[in-house]
Amino acid sequence: MIELSPHRAASNPAMGAHVFENALPSSLFDRVASAVRATGGERLKRNYTTTFWFAMGAAPRNVAEDAIVDLLRLANPGPDCVGVEWWLGRLPQGKKLRFHFDRDMTLRKETGQFVHPILASILYLNLFPSSPTVILDQVPGPDGESRIPEKPGVRAAVDAVPNRYLVFPGNLRHGVRPRAAAADDPGHATSELRLTLLVNYWDRRPLPPMCRDYDGSIYPSLQHEAARPLAILGKS
């Protein structure tokens, strides 16, 4: 149902869900986790509707994009990828994220056309065992309204573990379904948010205003932890 890898890129990640442990070098991971934690409650109610575009060949503008440059080798999205859409995931203890399909939301709203990314991916930034990501064996129908199959099974349920990186086909329905936390679980009765960096790999840029360019006015803490912009996405 799911392939686990200690640190190896999948040869064909579009075939299924893949998990990479210790995905980033520890120093880079610590900077990303610290910067995202420092965002606090900024745009918390809109964090899943505030996304940013990072084109192939561009220099990173913040620590999230520093991480994306490094994660590219694991995701292995293929030659059709022209860039990534990224955003921050921050969920309170016990809160679910409804099952959904990732898509170009502005295009869907304006034209009704349903277009999904090549690959979807999640970098987990803290330990939150009571709130796994659940991926269903369900894809959108040709009309963008129906679902195939109508009653899906579960392809994977992946726990939130620091520096774990989950990559899966961009057309699969997924969400977060909390389960009851045991009293000795680190995530039990915590005030900390479940923190993730979400990265979708695209063969076309999703439309604004949903997907925007990062200029530092939103999540400025991500710039404070950024390294010198020497790496370039897709250019090693």
pLDDT at 80: 96
C-alpha span between 147 and 141 (Å, rounded): 5
Q: Give residue 38's pLDDT band: very low, low, confident or very high (50, 70, 90).
A: very high
Evaluate if residue 236 carries a pLDDT over 60. Answer: no
Q: Give residue 182's pLDDT band: very low, low, confident or very high (50, 70, 90).
A: low
pLDDT at 12: 37
Q: 236 by DSSP, 3-state: which? A: coil
| 229 or 214, greater pLDDT | 214
Residue with tokens 């970098």: 123
pLDDT at 146: 87
Q: Give per-residue pLDDT as tens, 79-132.
A: 999 999 999 999 998 899 999 999 888 888 888 788 899 999 999 999 998 899
pLDDT at 186: 54
| H-helix segments, 56-103 | 63-75
Averaged pLDDT, 204-222: 94
pLDDT at 201: 98
Q: Could you tell me if residue 216 is left (phi over 0), alpha (psi between -120 and 50 degrees) or otherwise beta?
A: left
In angstroms, how far is the first alpha carbon of the chain from the final one? 32
Q: Give residue 8's pLDDT band: very low, low, confident or very high (50, 70, 90).
A: very low
The answer for residues whose C-beta is within 8 angstroms of residue 234's C-beta and 6 or more apart is 56, 57, 72, 81
Asked if residues 87 and 52 have their Cβ atoms less than 8 Å apart, the reply is: yes
Lowest mean pLDDT among 37-41, 108-112, 193-197: 108-112
pLDDT at 81: 97
Lowest mean pLDDT among 90-94, 180-184, 227-231: 227-231
pLDDT at 9: 38
C-alpha span between 17 and 222 (Å, rounded): 28
Helices 26-38 and 63-75: crossing angle in degrees, nearest 10, is: 130
Evaluate if residue 134 carries a pLDDT over 90. Answer: yes
For the chain, the farthest-separated pair of C-alpha atoms sits apart, in whole angstroms, at 49
Q: 75 by DSSP, 3-state: which? A: helix
For residue 70, what is the DSSP state? H
Averaged pLDDT, 39-62: 91
Asked if residues 178 and 130 have their Cβ atoms less than 8 Å apart, the reply is: yes
- Which CATH entry fits the domain spanning 3-224: 3.30.43.10, 3.20.20.70, 2.60.40.10, 2.60.120.10? 2.60.120.10
For the chain, what percent of residues have pLDDT higher than 90? Answer: 68
pLDDT at 16: 80
pLDDT at 144: 78
pTM of the model: 0.87
C-alpha span between 211 and 122 (Å, rounded): 17
C-alpha span between 169 and 22 (Å, rounded): 21
Q: Name which of 236, 230, 71 is nearest 163 in CA terms.
A: 71
What is the secondary structure of 14-43 as a DSSP string? GGS-EEESS-S-HHHHHHHHHHHHHTTTTT
pLDDT at 107: 87
Q: Structure tokens of 38?
A: 């420092």
C-alpha span between 97 and 176 (Å, rounded): 5
